[in-house]
């Protein structure tokens, strides 16, 4: 298998895993683990799902960019807007989740806060600094160079020039 085919397969896998993780995680945490479906837990999970959805969208856009040989990421403007909006949405959501945890600590709020914090980590992972190193090549890079700039952050730094 050639290098481009491996990259396409990896991108397709990343896109689908992020997307499929939304219902899978809902089943794991709310059905199997039995976390109660409360407003706080729902808000936290919604924040988490939002970031996974954006992550999936990025990998699908990256696949399209590879297929079309375009220098620019399709939908870059939407991702740039999401980067700004996510900060506001996450800040408001996390503030609500902290309030909910203080007002009614326990299974009705703690999981929601956990989901919200995980969403914040996903925001960092996608839009700022890569936090996930799951391949041998990634781990070698991490050991020799430290954390790297997130792929989406690099793609958003490539600007289209206006004629």
**Residue 149: strand, helix, or coil:** strand
Q: Give residue 160's pLDDT.
A: 58
Q: Give residue 67's pLDDT.
A: 94
Instruction: Tell me what percent of the residues of the chain surpass a pLDDT of 70.
Output: 96
Give per-residue pLDDT as tens, 7-48: 999 999 999 999 999 999 999 999 999 999 999 999 999 999
Q: Give residue 50's pLDDT.
A: 98
Q: How many beta carbons lie within 10 A of that of residue 65, not counting itself?
A: 18
Q: Give residue 139's pLDDT.
A: 77
pLDDT at 134 over 90: no
132 vs 26: CA distance, rounded Å: 21
pLDDT at 77 over 60: yes
pLDDT at 163 over 80: no
Spatial CA neighbour of 82 closest among 44, 112, 47: 47
| Residues 6+ positions from 4 with CB-CB distance below 8 Å | 66
Q: Give residue 86's pLDDT.
A: 98
Q: Give residue 4's pLDDT.
A: 85
Give per-residue pLDDT as tens, 108-117: 999 999 999 9
121 vs 107: CA distance, rounded Å: 21
pLDDT at 162 over 50: no
pLDDT at 143 over 90: no
Average pLDDT of the residues of the chain: 93
6 vs 9: CA distance, rounded Å: 5
157 vs 67: CA distance, rounded Å: 20
Give per-residue pLDDT as tens, 46-64: 999 999 999 999 999 999 9
């Amino acid at each position: 298998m050639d290098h481009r085919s491996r990259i396409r397969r990896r991108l397709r896998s990343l896109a689908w895993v992020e997307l499929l993780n939304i219902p899978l995680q809902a089943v794991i945490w709310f059905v199997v683990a039995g976390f109660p479906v409360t407003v706080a837990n729902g808000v936290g999970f919604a924040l988490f799902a939002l970031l996974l959805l954006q992550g999936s969208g990025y990998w699908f856009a990256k696949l399209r960019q590879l297929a079309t040989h375009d220098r620019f990421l399709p939908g870059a403007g939407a991702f740039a807007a999401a980067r700004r909006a996510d900060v506001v949405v996450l800040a408001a959501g996390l503030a609500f989740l902290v309030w909910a945890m203080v007002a009614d600590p326990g299974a009705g709020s703690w999981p929601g806060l956990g989901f919200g914090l995980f969403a914040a980590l996903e925001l960092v992972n996608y839009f700022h600094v890569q936090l996930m190193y799951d391949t041998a090549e990634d781990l070698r890079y991490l050991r020799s160079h430290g954390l790297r700039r997130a792929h989406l952050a690099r793609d958003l730094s490539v600007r289209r020039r206006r004629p």
